[in-house]
């Protein structure tokens, strides 16, 4: 049985292994022992907080675990509110019109303007499933369960939620967009910039990034082509978020120009479709698969399972009940998978 649960301090080695395997461009999982330890500690504090009525600096980090082998398959996270303790930067794609009536010249130019427009939004982040376990819809489960968590603990999150998509880079971590920035404004490798951002050292952004809007047509051809585009390995994750109701509104990452997508929590497909059902434990004859989670915070559990459902109840097996830490008569949240 595979479940998703809050991370614990004992999961450090597994988290570090995920950081190693995630490779270049995965900013939120840098290979840094101190940072990873801090993320675990922050998550433990966040899950322990009671009586939250509005989002703050909480960060909820989860692991996917095979209960039979106790092996960690991947990680996933939600930040309650970004940009509160440090600036949260993006480029905003815009338009600038140049017009000369006398010479009958009209030009509509694309621009990139540095901004902090997403400050205060919640964020889906740190989604990584290890290569050997990318099967049996584990990836979809590891992403979509977060919608159940949002629905169950709505007061802990902002009304708007975003997700930064990994931009285009090669196997060595070279980004065409960063190559242009590096040549004109920096003297730093992309891997170094990615690492510094991941550990929270962002002062160099305000110091070295271009302070005025960038005309996209002044970028070299390779850089222009990747603005708003995702890494090939990120396409499935992007498509899944689009199916939930996320959309691209013209904001891109400041280093690799990958797109950021946004949605309204209450309109997300799985949030809207989720509902509370009374648990009945027994044999299951249906092949209907749902996402399910309990209503606990520190002991949160989520999984995909085959169930039988009627108007108010959901029949689950004893194995599923044990994995969710629930018993007959308890209430769980379920959503179509």
Looking at residue 69, its pLDDT comes to 96
What ranges do the domains of the chain cover?
2-91+115-270, 274-336
Question: Do 174 and 262 meet the contact criterion of CB atoms below 8 Å apart?
Answer: no
**223: exposed, middle or buried (Cβ count in 10 Å: 0-12, 13-18, 19+):** buried
Other CB atoms within 10 A of residue 33 CB:
10
pTM to 2 decimal places: 0.91
CA atoms within 13 A on the CB side of 263: 23
pLDDT at 211: 79
103 catalytically annotated? no
Q: Name 211's Cβ contacts closer than 8 Å, sequence gap at least 6.
A: 114
Question: How far out from the chain centre does Cα 68 lie?
Answer: 27
Which of 51, 90, 212, 231 is labelled catalytic?
231
Percent of the chain residues topping a pLDDT of 70: 93
CATH class of 274-336: mainly beta
Quick check: 142 pLDDT over 80?
yes
Name the more confident of 245 and 181: 245
Q: Which CATH number fits domain 2-91+115-270: 1.10.1240.10, 3.40.630.30, 1.10.1740.10, 3.40.50.720?
A: 3.40.630.30
- CA 171 – CA 67 distance, rounded (Å): 33
- Is the predicted pLDDT of residue 288 greater than 90, yes or no? no
């Amino acid at each position: 049985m595979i479940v998703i649960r809050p991370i614990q301090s004992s999961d450090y080695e597994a988290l570090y292994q995920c950081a190693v395997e995630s490779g270049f461009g995965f900013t939120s999982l840098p290979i840094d022992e101190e940072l990873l330890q801090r993320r675990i500690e922050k998550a433990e504090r966040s899950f322990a907080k009671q009586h939250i009525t509005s989002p703050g600096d909480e960060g909820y980090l989860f692991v996917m675990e095979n209960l039979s082998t106790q092996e960690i398959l991947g990680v996933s996270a939600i930040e309650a509110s970004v940009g509160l303790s440090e600036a949260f930067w993006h480029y905003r794609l815009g338009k600038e019109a140049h017009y000369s009536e006398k010479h009958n010249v009209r030009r509509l130019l694309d621009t990139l303007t540095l901004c902090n427009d997403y400050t205060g939004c919640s964020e889906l982040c740190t989604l990584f499933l290890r290569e050997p376990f990318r099967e049996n819809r584990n990836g979809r489960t590891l992403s979509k369960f977060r919608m159940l968590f949002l629905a169950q603990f709505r007061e802990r999150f902002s009304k708007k939620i975003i997700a930064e998509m990994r931009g285009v880079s090669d196997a060595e971590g070279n980004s065409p967009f960063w190559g242009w920035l590096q040549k004109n404004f920096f003297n730093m490798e992309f891997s170094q910039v990615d690492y510094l951002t991941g550990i929270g050292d962002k002062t160099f952004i305000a110091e070295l990034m271009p302070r005025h809007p960038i005309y996209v047509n002044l970028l070299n051809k390779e850089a222009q082509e990747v603005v708003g585009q995702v890494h090939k390995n990120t396409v499935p994750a992007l498509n899944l978020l689009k199916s939930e109701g996320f959309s691209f509104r013209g904001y891109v990452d400041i280093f690799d120009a990958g797109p950021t997508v946004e949605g309204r929590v209450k309109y997300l497909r799985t949030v809207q479709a989720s509902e509370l059902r009374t648990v009945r434990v027994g044999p299951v004859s249906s092949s209907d698969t749902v996402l399910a989670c309990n209503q606990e915070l520190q002991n949160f559990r989520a999984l995909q399972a085959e169930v039988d459902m009627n108007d108010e109840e959901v029949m689950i097996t004893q194995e599923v009940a044990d994995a969710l830490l629930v018993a007959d008569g308890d209430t769980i949240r379920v959503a179509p998978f």
